[in-house]
Chains A and B, each alone.
Chain A
Amino acid sequence: MKSLKARLGIELVVALIFVFALQWALVSYYIKYVTETYIISRIEHDIDVLLANIVINEQGNITLAREPEGRYSEGPFTGHYYVIKGNNEMLRSRSLWDQSLDINTVGVGATSLQRISGPLEQPLLMLTKGFKKLDTDINVTVAEDITTLNSGIKTMQSAYLLLSSCLLLLLLLSQQWIVHRALKSLTTTRLNLERVSRGDTDNLSEAVPDEVLPLVQEINLLLELLSRRLQKTRTAVGNLAHSLKTPLSLLKNIKDDPAIKNETELLTTLDKQIESIQVTLERELNRARLAGDAKSGQRFLPGKELPALVETLEQIYKEQNLEIVLVNQQQTSWDADREDMLELFGNLADNACKWAKSTVTITLGTQPGQFTIEDDGPGFPADQIELLSQRGQRLDESIQGHGLGLSIVHDIVQFYKGTIEFEPSAKIGGLLVKVKLFNNQE
């Protein structure tokens, strides 16, 4: 199905064309009828005058007592003609000149109305009446040129057509405007839906026309159902992942068991598999959180959360005596979930702390979503820095969780439509990580 607006428009045009055409035909017919009736009454009058003027002598010959003046005799082909047929002779108006008319002969008391083409192709309306005067059968015929009448009607018709077309156009435009206005509530709903998909809101506004309301309500119900299902799935994934971690802890420490203490190969396999399960768990937990709840959590306030994160890191790395510097505190809130942003900052800063000798610097940019984290550790050789940008790249296996942290970071950066770059830190010599989120909002 195409545009509702176009369909309504086409239907209206067809209906209006039909109405206007019918009206046009009726009006044309009626005007023609009225004018012709008028002309016929004039012709009948002229016939009566002619009849009164007919003189019949003893031989039965007819003459006109008085030649009609004016239009019938002023010159050739004036458009007004008469023909009187008696028993033997025929009287014709002078205006007929040498032309003759194709006249039907009628009996006494009968009439015949003809539309014929007369001299000079004149369209003629011609009435013939049969009389009996003094025992002589007489047919009196009067014809009148209706060229002007026809052209008048034609002018009227085209004027009417023009007017109708204008009206049609006007009506169509106003109808489109009305439809557009009526459909505007649908546009509002569509924009609302876009906001839902962006995560700005979780249901549609029900301030819509009654016709649209049931649809909107159904969509809202569906959205609610969907979000509840998502929430349930997310909780289930979270619970599953978390509950697996405790048994994994036991497995991870099984190597101290005297029974397998010396099975080095077995222990290596075990370690590797446990590690792999752990990586999968962490990553899926992160993804479940990302997919499940981009909107319901608290917004991220860097000015409040980052100092707390720095304190946390300083506690964790207390033994290493690291200095973690926070540059450019931002007081504005970011359009992002607190948990996601803490996970992003936490993983990157944690990596930096693992490598750093003494200092880690977290610098916030001027725009929300922009920041860098750098350390004064050994950094990466140029050929390996390239690898850092590749999603899912497992880095130094000896530093636990490094690759995992990065894959989580990549997932979060991608979710918030951001970019992440790695380069050597010019200032303090280690690795510099540049993050820029919310690239879609510019």
Chain B
Amino acid sequence: MRILLVEDDVALANDLQKKLLQSGFVVDVSHDGIDGKFRADTESYDAVILDLGLPGQPGIEVLQQWRNDNNDIPVLILTARDAWHEKVDGFKAGADDYLGKPFHVEELIARLQALIRRRHGRAGATLTAAGLTLDEDTQQLTLANGNNVDLTATEFRLLSYLMQHPDKILSKSRLIEHVLASDSAGDENLIEVYINRLRRKIGSGKIETRRGQGYILKDTD
């Protein structure tokens, strides 16, 4: 899952980026409002973590503009300004969730996952598709036969993204954006490597390759 983090404090942003990555989120960081708005306008994210006190353009204005432009990307406001009138105004502007600083990263992650789950119309913290069950909290995969399989962080991100979009062709570039944190030349090959690793863990027939188009997770149920 690919997240945009708009936060002007560099130390906090770097720390969050690192920790979110461990929990299966690819994080792009933007340090001011104008850049943050531009990125969400031009690229595809699963959610945005938005600070309110931003240089360039205040977070609340950025949010209002997205909503005016019918961009309904899930937005979690993460701010030191967390008095109740500020929360009310934040939700009025179109926020989906609100978290006051200081916060526990665990809570941020839980809320972020819930936000994305809601976006995909799911209630619980588990993803099911193609006979697989993926627990987002423990990052554990359960196969149809009941066996548990451990995944690396990148494998988890790749599989959860595939399971969120079953029966859809996902291009390599889209997978790179949403799964890989880096942006290097060998990324296309890296995706192939991870797909092959996943096939070994979940069974080779579940992920099909469409030449020139990308990959598809067949949800046989």
Contacts of B98 in A (CB 8 A): 312, 315-316
Hey, what's the 0/1 contact readout for B76-98 against A, CB within 8 Å counting as 1? Answer: 00001101110110011001111
Confirm or deny: B172 has a beta carbon within 8 angstroms of a beta carbon on chain A: no
Once the chains are docked, how many angstroms separate the CA of A315 from the CA of B99?
12
Confirm or deny: A44 has a beta carbon within 8 angstroms of a beta carbon on chain B: no
Residue of A nearest to B90 (CB): A312
**Which of the 9-residue segments A167-175, A248-256, A378-386 touches chain B?**
A248-256
Residue of B nearest to A244 (CB): B80
Interface residues on B, range: 20 to 34
If the complex has contacts A246-B80, A250-B11, A308-B92, are A343 and B105 also in contact, measured as CB distance less than 8 A? no
Confirm or deny: B43 has a beta carbon within 8 angstroms of a beta carbon on chain A: no
How many Å from the CB of A84 to the closest CB on chain B?
A: 117
The count of residues in chain A whose C-beta lies closer than 8 Å to any C-beta of chain B is 35
B87 and A312 contacting across the interface, CB-CB below 8 Å: yes
Confirm or deny: B69 has a beta carbon within 8 angstroms of a beta carbon on chain A: no
How many Å from the CB of B47 to the closest CB on chain A?
A: 14
If the complex has contacts A256-B19, A312-B91, A319-B114, are A245 and B101 also in contact, measured as CB distance less than 8 A? yes
If the complex has contacts A250-B15, A253-B19, are A343 and B83 also in contact, measured as CB distance less than 8 A? yes
If the complex has contacts A249-B12, A250-B11, A250-B12, are A346 and B118 also in contact, measured as CB distance less than 8 A? no
Query: Which residues of chain A in 257-293 are interfacial with respect to chain B, using CB atoms and an 8 Å cutoff?
Result: 274, 278, 285-286, 289
If the complex has contacts A250-B12, A308-B92, A315-B91, are A338 and B85 also in contact, measured as CB distance less than 8 A? yes
Contacts of B80 in A (CB 8 A): 241-243, 245-246
B102 and A251 contacting across the interface, CB-CB below 8 Å: yes
Confirm or deny: B200 has a beta carbon within 8 angstroms of a beta carbon on chain A: no
Contacts of A319 in B (CB 8 A): 114
Contacts of A309 in B (CB 8 A): 84, 88
If the complex has contacts A309-B84, A312-B91, A338-B85, are A246 and B105 also in contact, measured as CB distance less than 8 A? no
Contacts of B15 in A (CB 8 A): 250, 253
Once the chains are docked, how many angstroms separate the CA of A56 from the CA of B92?
136
Contacts of B214 in A (CB 8 A): none
Confirm or deny: A351 has a beta carbon within 8 angstroms of a beta carbon on chain B: no
Residue of B nearest to A309 (CB): B88
How many Å from the CB of B121 to the closest CB on chain A?
A: 13
Residue of A nearest to B8 (CB): A246
A343 and B84 contacting across the interface, CB-CB below 8 Å: yes
Residue of B nearest to A241 (CB): B80
Confirm or deny: B103 has a beta carbon within 8 angstroms of a beta carbon on chain A: yes
Confirm or deny: A339 has a beta carbon within 8 angstroms of a beta carbon on chain B: yes
Hey, what's the 0/1 contact readout for B160-191 against A, CB within 8 Å counting as 1? Answer: 00000000000000000000000000000000
Hey, what's the 0/1 contact readout for A331-342 against B, CB within 8 Å counting as 1? Answer: 000000011001
If the complex has contacts A253-B15, A319-B114, are A343 and B101 also in contact, measured as CB distance less than 8 A? no
Query: Which residues of chain A in 157-213 are interfacial with respect to chain B, using CB atoms and an 8 Å cutoff?
Result: none
Confirm or deny: A89 has a beta carbon within 8 angstroms of a beta carbon on chain B: no
A342 and B91 contacting across the interface, CB-CB below 8 Å: no
A246 and B84 contacting across the interface, CB-CB below 8 Å: no
Contacts of A252 in B (CB 8 A): 102-104
Give 5 pairs: A residue, B residue, CB < 8 Å, sorted on A.
A249-B103, A316-B97, A339-B85, A342-B84, A346-B84
Lowest 9 CB-CB distances: which A-B pairs, in order? A346-B84, A245-B80, A248-B102, A245-B101, A249-B102, A342-B85, A242-B80, A339-B85, A342-B84
Residues of A within 8 A of B (CB): 241-243, 245-253, 256, 274, 278, 285-286, 289, 305, 308-309, 311-312, 315-316, 318-319, 338-339, 342-343, 345-347, 350
